[in-house]
């Protein structure tokens, strides 16, 4: 039995209770510090968030050696833990209306080893926990957040394998998501063997975020960009490991409702701007191959009735023939050989068809390009330990990385976007990568280490894009979409996408994984995302022979109808994979689905507006609207699309029916109007082209939904202007 000496004097209970009005939400927040016989607990609005006892100290401090190796954006942590000390004894150093300062010690020792200040600044609604280790050499601390057995935990940024994070540990480190992501599949095994452990794991993601969101109605966020591990595998506490012992800062807030909780976090973390209007008019078609091919694809699509809002040409910079096949030439300039007259065609497409052309960029420059040479000459690329330009292996070529911590380099790269991209009329781009910054042997302009900045890189990259667009006066017209992210991304990015899914029906890396990805990103504060229709990564080698089937393409497309953005990708093996243009039947089916997407836009715009104004994500976990339904917390593969839809995409092969859960209320089956009263488990017919979807019977959008559901292949849809904006009607 462990009894802290210091707290014995306080064997009686001292309750300090002060109520405050929150400035952000105008709700009273009650901060409660309660001393118990063996420690203390701290609650916010009645939600216990911190608890300390001699058996379970709130704070551990320690020291370790961390060896990090990297290969193509995958990172491997080899840890040797030297020390980990539980600070079971404590003394209250000061207690004011707005803060408690607590000194922590080991039980046997009088030495003060850490000081934690828990405060509720008057200007903020949330608790701030600031911890500093005063002990001899330490480089990490573990903060225990109070937990309950039946609590669910979500967030962690974009998580592909598990929406409910409980029961597992999640390292927060931006990196490639991995190919396969499930160590028990043959695919992941083979990728690991032949590509240096590039198979990934359940937690590997481009967009991790040190934020979680508890079913006990609080969120918790670790500030800063250092490596964090969030361990939710314990019954009575969540343990947050932080690699910062001088100024670790953790924020916690509560809200009366789950919905307000997301809002409260986005109040703090920021929210994206609205999507451009044009993006709702139809699909952005991922096409490649030059000006004429782009136009040919467009003509073929519209001739078949597809609604097209954009043409995304990732190879606008030209291509590089490497030993591994075609790759984009990462030298961010219009390639006039491959794309003659592109600037003129962009103008014409926008003017004549409201069709927008999008490009591609990332923060790395091929060392063979003149941009790299210019940047290296000016000292704008990340340097190596010898102070020369760092050249990173990207598979079949080497790149320099623009030093985003160098204000001059930052401005210069913005000017590249403004001049080379916006300047030729591009209305958007994939702002790819952001995860590859090496940790060791890199010298950054601002003096920070690679380990400190690594997780911040995606945010700097988003900020750069944002400023470029703003400075060009194109906010609201241009959209860039990113995969890498962190806290702050929501504030700087315009749109996310789910990265590189395999072209398969796997849970961990296929179409299914895009659902928890959207939901976890949503509760982490970024409510606008979408995915590559059809997935990206094909592995056409035996024994896997993984290529995109027409079925996967169509299942993926039908799911995209109920997301904010519908964008196709040819994938990494365009010729071997099914494409929207592969055959007339696929074109016809895409025509119907893109019409549905387009006609639904009035509803979609409302959802986007909710993201922008309140942070409520477009794709939502059921518990945001059904917080009292226990089942709502356990659902990973269906979501609410706005307040009115329950969407349960078919993500397995060869399905003719699909099971889903409906919470309380009256629900209308989208495809035939059947009414079901929830809560209910239902099985519905799910032929290709009919995503299992229900809508609320009291939705104000019933007529629109019926219009969308009724669209058949071959129907013509036309725009009708109304007082509420454009609507569309469709008829055979």
Q: Could you give the residue numbers annotated as active site?
A: 432, 435, 500
Q: How many CB atoms lie within 10 A of CB 21?
A: 11
Provide the minimum distance between the beta carbon of 193 and a copy of itself in the complex, in angstroms, as a whole number: 6
Work out which of 72, 84, 216, 373 binds a copy of itself, going by CB under 8 A: 84
Crossing angle of helices 258-269 and 601-614, in 10° steps, is 70
Which one-letter DSSP state was computed for residue 274? P
Stretch that binds a copy of itself, among 83-91, 259-267, 347-355, 704-712 (CB under 8 A): 83-91
Provide the minimum distance between the beta carbon of 64 and a copy of itself in the complex, in angstroms, as a whole number: 10
Provide the minimum distance between the beta carbon of 653 and a copy of itself in the complex, in angstroms, as a whole number: 20
Work out which of 135, 313, 508, 515 binds a copy of itself, going by CB under 8 A: 135
Provide the minimum distance between the beta carbon of 440 and a copy of itself in the complex, in angstroms, as a whole number: 18
* Cα–Cα distance for residue pair 641/502, rounded to 1 Å: 24
Work out which of 8, 136, 712, 731 binds a copy of itself, going by CB under 8 A: 136
Point out which residues pair with 640 in neighbouring strands: 620, 646
Q: Does 303 bind a copy of itself (CB under 8 A)?
A: no
Residue 193 or 341: which CB sits closer to a copy of itself?
193
Q: Does 2 bind a copy of itself (CB under 8 A)?
A: yes
Residues binding a copy of itself: number (CB under 8 A)? 28
Provide the minimum distance between the beta carbon of 152 and a copy of itself in the complex, in angstroms, as a whole number: 21
* Cα–Cα distance for residue pair 268/608, rounded to 1 Å: 19
Residue 234 or 631: which CB sits closer to a copy of itself?
234
* Cα–Cα distance for residue pair 691/144, rounded to 1 Å: 42
Q: Does 186 bind a copy of itself (CB under 8 A)?
A: yes
Q: Does 106 bind a copy of itself (CB under 8 A)?
A: yes
Strands (E), 534-637: 567-568, 619-620
* Cα–Cα distance for residue pair 208/174, rounded to 1 Å: 6
Residue 153 or 482: which CB sits closer to a copy of itself?
153
Q: Does 90 bind a copy of itself (CB under 8 A)?
A: no
Work out which of 13, 21, 111, 630 binds a copy of itself, going by CB under 8 A: 111
Which one-letter DSSP state was computed for residue 478? B
**Before 543, cis peptide (omega within 30)?**
yes
Residue 193 or 322: which CB sits closer to a copy of itself?
193
Provide the minimum distance between the beta carbon of 114 and a copy of itself in the complex, in angstroms, as a whole number: 12
Helical (H) or strand (E) element with 609: helix 601-614
CA-based torsion, 509, 515, 516, 517: positive or negative: positive
Q: Does 449 bind a copy of itself (CB under 8 A)?
A: no
CA-based torsion, 589, 593, 595, 596: positive or negative: positive
Q: Do the beta carbons of residue 524 and residue 489 sit within 8 Å?
A: no
* Cα–Cα distance for residue pair 178/188, rounded to 1 Å: 8
Task: Provide long-range contacts, Cβ within 8 A and 24+ apart, for 367-375.
Answer: 367/391, 367/397, 367/398, 367/399, 367/400, 368/320, 368/329, 368/331, 368/397, 369/329, 369/330, 369/331, 370/331, 371/331, 371/332, 371/333, 371/416, 372/331, 372/399, 372/400, 375/400, 375/402, 375/409, 375/412
Stretch that binds a copy of itself, among 129-137, 203-211, 449-457, 678-686 (CB under 8 A): 129-137
Provide the minimum distance between the beta carbon of 420 and a copy of itself in the complex, in angstroms, as a whole number: 44
Point out which residues pair with 683 in neighbouring strands: 659
Provide the minimum distance between the beta carbon of 85 and a copy of itself in the complex, in angstroms, as a whole number: 5
Residue 138 or 529: which CB sits closer to a copy of itself?
138
Residue whose C-alpha is closest to residue 202's, from 147, 152, 163: 163
* Cα–Cα distance for residue pair 396/408, rounded to 1 Å: 29
Q: Does 330 bind a copy of itself (CB under 8 A)?
A: no
Work out which of 23, 37, 96, 109 binds a copy of itself, going by CB under 8 A: 109
Site string for a copy of itself, 220-249 (x = CB under 8 A): -------------xx---------------
Please report, for the chain, how many H helices and E strands are present, in that order.
14, 42
Give me 193's structure tokens: 């063997």
Residue 109 or 336: which CB sits closer to a copy of itself?
109
Site string for a copy of itself, 542-581 (x = CB under 8 A): -x--------------------------------------
Residue 171 or 425: which CB sits closer to a copy of itself?
171
Give me 142's structure tokens: 């573990």
Q: Do the beta carbons of residue 482 and residue 495 sit within 8 Å?
A: yes
Span 51-70, contacts to a copy of itself by CB under 8 A:
60, 62
Q: Does 91 bind a copy of itself (CB under 8 A)?
A: no
Stretch that binds a copy of itself, among 105-113, 381-389, 517-525, 581-589 (CB under 8 A): 105-113
Work out which of 73, 86, 156, 400 binds a copy of itself, going by CB under 8 A: 86
Q: Does 81 bind a copy of itself (CB under 8 A)?
A: yes
Provide the minimum distance between the beta carbon of 235 and a copy of itself in the complex, in angstroms, as a whole number: 11
Stretch that binds a copy of itself, among 103-111, 122-130, 399-407, 481-489 (CB under 8 A): 103-111
Q: Does 541 bind a copy of itself (CB under 8 A)?
A: no
Max Cα–Cα distance, the chain, nearest Å? 83
Rounded to the nearest 10°, the torsion over CA 450, 456, 459, 463 is: -60
Provide the minimum distance between the beta carbon of 510 and a copy of itself in the complex, in angstroms, as a whole number: 19
Contact residues toward a copy of itself (CB under 8 A) are 2, 60, 62, 80-86, 106-111, 113, 135-137, 184, 186, 189, 192-193, 233-234, 543
């Amino acid at each position: 039995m462990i009894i802290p000496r210091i707290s014995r004097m306080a064997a009686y209970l001292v309750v300090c209770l002060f109520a405050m009005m929150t400035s952000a939400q105008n709700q009273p927040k009650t901060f409660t510090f309660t001393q118990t016989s063996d420690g203390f607990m701290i609650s916010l609005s009645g939600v216990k968030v911190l608890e300390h006892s001699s058996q379970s100290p709130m704070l551990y401090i320690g020291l370790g050696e961390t060896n990090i190796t990297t290969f193509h954006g995958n990172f491997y942590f080899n840890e040797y833990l030297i020390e980990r000390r539980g600070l079971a004894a404590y003394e209250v150093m000061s207690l004011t209306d707005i803060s408690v300062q607590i000194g922590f010690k080991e039980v046997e020792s009088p030495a003060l080893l850490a000081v934690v200040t828990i405060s509720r600044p008057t200007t903020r609604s949330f608790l701030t926990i600031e911890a500093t280790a005063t002990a001899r050499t330490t480089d990490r601390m573990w903060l225990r957040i109070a937990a309950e057995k039946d609590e669910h935990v979500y967030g962690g940024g974009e998580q592909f394998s598990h929406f409910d994070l409980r029961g597992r540990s999640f390292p927060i480190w931006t990196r490639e998501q991995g190919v396969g992501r499930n160590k028990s599949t043959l695919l992941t095994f083979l990728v690991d063997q032949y590509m240096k452990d590039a198979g990934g794991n359940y937690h590997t993601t481009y967009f991790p975020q040190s934020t979680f969101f508890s079913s006990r109605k609080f969120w918790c966020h670790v500030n800063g960009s250092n490596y964090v591990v969030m361990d939710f595998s314990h019954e009575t506490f969540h343990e947050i490991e932080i690699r910062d012992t001088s100024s670790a800062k953790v924020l916690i807030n509560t809200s009366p409702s789950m919905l307000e909780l997301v809002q409260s976090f986005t109040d703090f973390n920021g929210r994206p701007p609205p999507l451009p209007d044009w993006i709702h008019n139809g699909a952005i078609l991922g096409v490649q191959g030059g000006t004429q091919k782009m136009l040919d694809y467009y003509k073929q699509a519209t001739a078949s009735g597809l609604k097209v809002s954009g043409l995304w040409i990732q190879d606008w910079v030209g291509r590089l023939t490497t030993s591994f096949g075609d790759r984009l030439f990462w030298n961010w300039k219009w390639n006039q050989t491959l794309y003659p007259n592109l600037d003129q065609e962009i103008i014409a497409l926008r003017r004549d068809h409201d069709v927008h052309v999008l490009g591609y960029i990332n923060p790395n420059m091929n060392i063979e390009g003149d941009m790299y040479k210019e940047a290296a000459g000016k000292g704008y690329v990340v340097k190596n330990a010898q102070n020369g330009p760092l050249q990173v292996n990207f598979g079949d070529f080497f790149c320099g990385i623009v030093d985003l911590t160098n204000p001059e380099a930052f401005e210069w790269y913005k000017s590249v976007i403004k001049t080379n991209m916006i300047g030729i009329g591009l209305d958007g781009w994939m702002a790819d990568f952001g995860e590859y910054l090496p940790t060791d042997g890199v010298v950054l302009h601002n003096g920070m280490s690679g380990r400190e900045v690594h997780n911040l890189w995606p945010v700097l990259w988003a900020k750069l894009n944002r400023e470029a667009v703003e400075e060009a006066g194109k906010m609201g017209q241009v959209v860039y979409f990113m995969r890498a992210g962190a806290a702050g991304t929501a504030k700087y990015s315009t749109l996310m996408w789910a990265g590189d899914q395999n072209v398969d029906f796997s849970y961990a890396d296929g179409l299914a994984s895009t659902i928890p990805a959207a939901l976890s990103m949503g509760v982490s504060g970024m409510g606008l995302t979408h995915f590559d229709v059809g997935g990206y990564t094909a592995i056409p080698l035996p024994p896997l022979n993984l290529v995109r089937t027409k079925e996967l393409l169509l299942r993926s497309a039908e799911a995209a109808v109920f997301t904010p953005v519908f964008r196709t990708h040819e994938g990494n093996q365009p010729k071997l994979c099914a494409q929207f243009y592969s055959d007339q039947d696929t074109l016809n089916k895409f025509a119907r689905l893109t019409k549905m997407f387009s006609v639904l836009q009035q509803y979609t715009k409302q959802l986007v507006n909710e993201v922008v104004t309140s942070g409520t994500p477009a794709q939502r976990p059921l518990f945001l609207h059904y917080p009292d339904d226990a089942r709502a917390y356990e659902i990973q593969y269906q979501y609410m699309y706005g307040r009115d839809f329950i969407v349960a995409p078919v993500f397995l092969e060869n399905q003719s029916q699909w099971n889903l859960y409906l919470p309380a209320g009256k629900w209308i089956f989208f495809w035939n109007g059947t009414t079901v009263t929830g809560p209910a488990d239902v099985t519905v017919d799910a032929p290709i082209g009919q995503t299992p979807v229900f809508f609320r019977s009291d939705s104000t959008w019933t007529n629109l939904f019926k219009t969308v559901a009724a669209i058949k292949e071959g129907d013509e849809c036309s725009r009708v202007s109304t007082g509420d904006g454009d609507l569309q009607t469709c008829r055979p």
